[in-house]
Chain A
Amino acid sequence: AQSVSQHNHHVILSEAASLELGCNYSYGGTVNLFWYVQYPGQHLQLLLKYFSGDPLVKGIKGFEAEFIKSKFSFNLRKPSVQWSDTAEYFCAVNDDFGNEKLTFGTGTRLTIIP
């Protein structure tokens, strides 16, 4: 069964610092990859997704993620974080194209200090 690892449970950064959140998955075949974000008190929403093509994917609010197949990784990056990026971030993987079942990681809580 697919598993998704997010090794950073809680990350604390100052505003303007650069961000990289790790995501690794276990399945070695073709995958679709997602990052979702949950701002305090809000719904979970899509940040970005990768299906195929350019392994560097750009999402909303200046976030990007790079798919590295050889490392089974899909790390999330942002060059300069803002206080409003404080949220919980979830990586998710789909490896069964007969349905749309997602396997989520355990999440990374990001706290940005003004």
Chain B
Amino acid sequence: DVKVTQSSRYLVKRTGEKVFLECVQDMDHENMFWYRQDPGLGLRLIYFSYDVKMKEKGDIPEGYSVSREKKERFSLILESASTNQTSMYLCASSLGGRVQETQYFGPGTRLLVL
């Protein structure tokens, strides 16, 4: 079974703090993704990575950065948290390759920025 874990289920931070969200997958997947999920807006892609040290912007990258130093780990960084970044953050991974593969999701981190 593919397992995608996220470092925290709930996180409370103050405006201006630097926030790290960690995601680890145990299936040697090439691709990893960060989404945010907001009511009425569905899932929106922030960043994704198709290889170690590679990253590409998704649809809403502003205010975020990412790091992928090891294949199994993909970190999302909020350089200076703001209240409009209060959201549920979902990490996903997929096998990779030319054929579309299923994305496997983690349990999510609910972030509250005060």
Residues of chain A whose beta carbon lies under 8 Å from any beta carbon of chain B: 1, 4, 6, 9, 32, 34, 36, 43-46, 49, 51, 90, 92, 94, 97, 99-107
B41: chain A residues at CB < 8 Å are 106
Q: What per-residue 1/0 map shows which CB atoms of B51-68 lie under 8 Å from chain A? A: 000001011000000000
Given A100-B31, A100-B94, A100-B103, A105:B42 Cβ within 8 A: yes
Task: Specify the chain A residue showing the minimal Cβ separation from B56.
Answer: A99
Indicate if the CB atoms of B48 and A101 lie closer than 8 Å.
yes
B42: chain A residues at CB < 8 Å are 4, 6, 90, 104-107
| Distance to closest chain A CB from B6 (angstroms) | 10
A97: chain B residues at CB < 8 Å are 98, 100
Range of interface residues on chain B?
20 to 34
A103: chain B residues at CB < 8 Å are 45, 59
A34 to B100: give the CA distance in the assembly, Å.
10
A34: chain B residues at CB < 8 Å are 102
Q: What per-residue 1/0 map shows which CB atoms of B87-107 lie under 8 Å from chain A? A: 000101010101111110111
Indicate if the CB atoms of B96 and A100 lie closer than 8 Å.
yes
